[in-house]
Chain A
Amino acid sequence: MEAEKINQLYFSDVNQPIRYDRRKFLKQLGKGIIVIFSLSELSLLQGWSQPTNARNEEIDFNAYLRVKEDGRVDCYTGKIEMGQGIITSLAQALAEELEVSIDMVDMVMGDTKLCPYDAGTWGSLTTRFADPVIRAAAAEAREILIEIASEKLAEPIGNLEAVNGSVFVKGNASKKIDYAALTKGKKIVRSLTKKPEIKKAKDFKIVGKSVISTDALAKVTGRAKYSADIKLYGMVHASVVRPRIFGSKKIAVDASALKNFNGAQLIEDGDLVAVIHSESEVAAKAAQSIKITWEAPESKANTETIFKYFEDTITQSTVFEEGGDLEVGKQNSEKIVQADYHDGYKAHAAIETHCATCYFENDKLTIWASTQTPFGTQKELADTFKMPLEDVHVKQIFLGGGFGGKIYNLQAVEAAKIAKISGKPVQLVWTRREEFMYDRFRPAALLKIRSGVDSFGKLNLWEFDIYCAGTRGTKLFYNAPNNLTRFFNKNDVHPFGTGAWRAPGNNTTTFARESHIDATAHAIGQDPLEFRLKNLKDENMIATLKLAADTFGYNTPKKEGHGYGIALGEDAGTLVAIISEVRVDKSTGEVHPVKIVCAQDMGQVVNPHGATVQTEGGVTMGLGYALYEEIEFDGGMVETRTFSNYPFTTFSKTPKITCVFMDKMNAAPQGGGEPAIICVGGSIANAVFDACGARVNRMPITPKRVLAAMPL
């Protein structure tokens, strides 16, 4: 998919799995019991999948499992592991239904040759859509094993049960046969033909229990491999020569100084200019010796003027939601509150930069790439080199953080081009400086809101204009009968690449909405908690907010200079309520987070510990965008190029964080990797106002901005 199309997807709510073309798969599978799961016309949304009339070799599926002849289980999914913990939670769901220990499950992830097609790991989709698929497949495999055991043990199926990798005769523990013996010499392939019996929450042994990450051992010993840890025979390191200004076109190249670097070789392909060498530091120094004349695009906006630029440039809008009559809303309102909100560009700043290691052999390309979309990378590479898709093999590898930034694969294309031209295996590791320009940043955004409220504190009017942040999570959950939400966007309005950043757009829109809800409450002298409870329409959101308030102790008196702030939001099917306590130093404007409570209604919690780690991680990362992170620029000239001028949350800035979940063990699981982060900005902004009276409408909420907004 093209970047624009992908972005459209990421910045909207995703409420169903995305289906793709059928692929032939079965012939290459080895022996064992294989269950594939078909996604047919009647989607997972309606329960479980239905039989398709597809021919055997052509089946839609996005995960499958294989019980091997040694009794171990391989689970194949095109999803990738980047720290969000699905390598553990998916194995947990599989182990639960198949009745095996989680140690018996091997996850094979994101390998384009071994795994079925997957659109990519983003949007907190895995637990919502891959988890039910895997559970159903595992339940089916368990039923097949019981059928085979029934023959072998000459017992009716009803007398048998599967426990811990064996099938037992009920009431006779000595009469049993293990999965390895049942699978030996067999090749059984099944796609789901009926809705299998999935366990009820009360029968769970593994799901709902906290499990330590199955990849932790590899990660604490340094054995976990990332794309830059692959070393190939005869491999060279590539270093790309970059312009100072994004979008510059190459005019002339002077590589005369390259002769000073023994063994360095120049690679040129259009605007891509690189040096390769068997040693990375020599390649980097040699690349610095190359002088390129660039033609740079003219600057149209900078860090400060970009918001006005959006408003002046983007005139086209689409209506996302509307109801009632805005005029009636205005007439019936005692107070009208109007404000603009701003959010700057943010980097993903994953600790691992974009990397790729690759080689061509017999016109086939093999690549390890830090990518959230292995199949998207495969397609992009196949298109680049006009190769058949199956001749590009993207291998399974860990990612050192993604957060949406590794959905895009420029580094993979660059590495492969250099490998193709040089005829050598190539490793390309972007430097931090490159990362701070070719990362597709979270877009800056402008948000204009007008609200109206009557003398009883009921919202009557809600007008929300969103520039560049998308509509994900903006469906109104407050009861404002007269409302209009519009989305303004235009291609090429940003001076550099932008893209999906953990819960795309939703951090920005939630900050604006929740700040404005607070301002509206204060405009009629109501407590923000009371005001929200009065105006929310969804019972689940009310319950989540109450859980947060109780856990936080919202009625506890505040210390001098401290403030409490609430924000609510919805992302990836999960409801979020965050309450933050901050201390503001009124003389410097510095904001110190003291305590944060995050309550979520995320349906069934598969791995409570994993969900807590994700939620706490989201909140911790969120403090960065709320308080510190901003890319400074003038047109395509990015001025923020190192960690030292892009500060984010560190050890000392992390407060005590408490995560609580609504008890919904019988509900379907919802998103967990992204939701919590969306409410951090709004809750901090509201807490800052509560602490010192400064309403800061622009993120990050820097000391300077706090001081400027402080009442005299």
Chain B
Amino acid sequence: MKQTIGFKLNGKKVTVAINGDESLLTVLREYLDNTGTKYSCGLGQCGACTVILNNQTSQSCITYVDAFENAEIITIEGLANNNELHPIQEAFVAHDALQCGFCTPGMIMNSYGLLLKNPNPSREEIISEMEVNLCRCGSYNNIVDAIETASEKMFKKL
């Protein structure tokens, strides 16, 4: 039996019919066609599926309806304001902090969550917070640089 639930996705209210045991990742990608969030391990071990749920980072492949019903969710699709990139996205482009790009949405969303709670993190704090996100192409050092740049830009604005 399907049940209809609702939550806020990138600022807009959405309702969706679910079986009740799906992950948030499946709901986003398959039912709502937001394919920017990626599947990679399905066990919360790689960070590719990271989204923001009620201002906290959440690995959507292991997040279920109890957690996401009526929640406020932000995905990679919700960061840019029209065509204006978010400062984190801008910094990822400027530092070319990506190669194949598959881990990138998860990296950016985890950075977003980090800067929400700690707008001016040290390099060590960035590394420690980002540690769960895997990048097989080896762009880690550029990603840390990008987060530092984004933090500087956002922090000055605050």
Taking Cβ atoms with an 8 Å cutoff, the residues of A that contact B are: 82-85, 212-213, 215-226, 228-229, 231, 237, 279-282, 348-353, 398-403, 429, 431-432, 609-610, 613-614, 616-621, 642-644, 648-652, 654, 656-657
Contact = CB atoms under 8 A, between A and B. Distances in A.
Given A616-B141, A652-B128, A654-B141, A352 B100 contact: yes
B149 interface: no
A353 B139 contact: no
Interface in B11-43: 19, 21-23, 26, 29-30, 33-43
B102 interface: yes
Interface stretch (B52-60, B65-73, B88-96): B88-96
A652 B127 contact: yes
B156 interface: no
A351 B38 contact: yes
A654 B140 contact: yes
A82 B43 CA distance: 24
A85 B96 CA distance: 11
A619 B89 CA distance: 25
B118 interface: no
A621 B138 contact: yes
B9 interface: no
Contacts of A643: 41, 43, 45-46, 134
A429 B21 CA distance: 19
Contact of B35 (A225, A403, A657): A225
B116 interface: no
B23 A281 contact: yes
Contacts of A351: 38, 40, 46, 48, 100, 102-103, 134-136
A226 B101 CA distance: 10
B80 interface: yes
A400 B135 CA distance: 10
B102 A609 contact: no
Contacts of A398: 100-101
Contact of A401 (B108, B136, B144): B136
A282 B19 contact: yes
Contacts of A654: 138, 140-141
A651 B131 contact: yes
B89 A400 contact: no
Contacts of B85: 217, 220-221
Contacts of B143: 651
Interface string B104-123: 11001000000000000000
Secondary structure at the B interface, as helix, strand, loop or mixed, is loop
Contacts of A432: 40-43
B101 A219 contact: yes
A644 B43 contact: yes
A613 B80 contact: no
Contacts of B128: 652
A614 B29 CA distance: 30
A400 B131 contact: no
A222 B109 CA distance: 11
Most buried by B among A222, A281, A619, A654: A222
A216 B100 contact: no
B100 A220 contact: no
Interface in B76-98: 76-77, 79-80, 85, 89, 92-94, 96, 98
B4 interface: no
A233 to B, nearest CB: 13
A212 B35 contact: no
A616 B139 CA distance: 8
B151 interface: no
Contacts of B100: 82-83, 350-352, 398-402
B45 A220 contact: no
A401 B22 CA distance: 27
B33 A222 contact: no
B93 A217 contact: yes
Which are the 10 A-B pairs with shortest beta-carbon distances? A222-B36, A400-B102, A620-B138, A83-B100, A219-B101, A83-B99, A617-B138, A222-B76, A229-B35, A220-B89
A647 B145 CA distance: 24
Task: Give the size category of B's interface with A.
Answer: 35 or more
B137 interface: yes
Given A432-B40, A618-B138, A220 B21 contact: no
Contact of A616 (B30, B46, B131, B138): B138
Contact of B142 (A221, A281, A399, A613): A613
Contacts of A349: 136
Contacts of B98: 83, 213, 216, 219-220
Nearest to B22: A281
A429 B99 contact: no
A83 B101 contact: yes
Given A222-B37, A225-B35, A351-B48, 20 more contacts: A85-B99, A212-B94, A216-B93, A219-B101, A220-B76, A221-B89, A226-B38, A279-B22, A351-B40, A353-B39, A400-B101, A401-B100, A402-B100, A432-B40, A610-B96, A613-B96, A620-B139, A644-B45, A651-B126, A651-B144
Contact of B105 (A82, A222, A282): A222
B139 A431 contact: no
Contacts of A400: 38, 40, 100-103
A216 B45 CA distance: 25
Contact of B138 (A82, A610, A619): A619
Contacts of A85: 99
A432 B48 CA distance: 13
Given A229-B35, A351-B40, A649-B140, A219 B104 contact: yes
Contacts of B41: 432, 642-643
Contacts of A644: 43, 45
Contacts of B37: 222
A222 B134 contact: no
A367 to B, nearest CB: 18
27 contacts: A212-B93, A212-B94, A213-B96, A216-B93, A216-B96, A220-B89, A220-B93, A220-B104, A221-B77, A221-B80, A222-B37, A224-B101, A279-B22, A281-B26, A351-B102, A352-B100, A432-B42, A613-B139, A616-B142, A617-B137, A617-B138, A620-B140, A621-B138, A643-B43, A651-B127, A651-B140, A656-B141
A222 B23 CA distance: 19
Contacts of A223: 36
A225 B34 CA distance: 11
Contacts of B33: 231
Contacts of A228: 35, 39
Nearest to A644: B45
B9 to A, nearest CB: 13
Contact of A352 (B38, B80, B130): B38
Contacts of B93: 212, 216-217, 220
A610 to B, nearest CB: 8
A681 to B, nearest CB: 15
Given A82-B100, A351-B100, A621 B137 contact: yes
Contact of B92 (A220, A279, A617, A656): A220
A224 B105 CA distance: 10
Contacts of B29: 229
Contact of B77 (A222, A352, A648): A222
Contacts of B26: 279-281
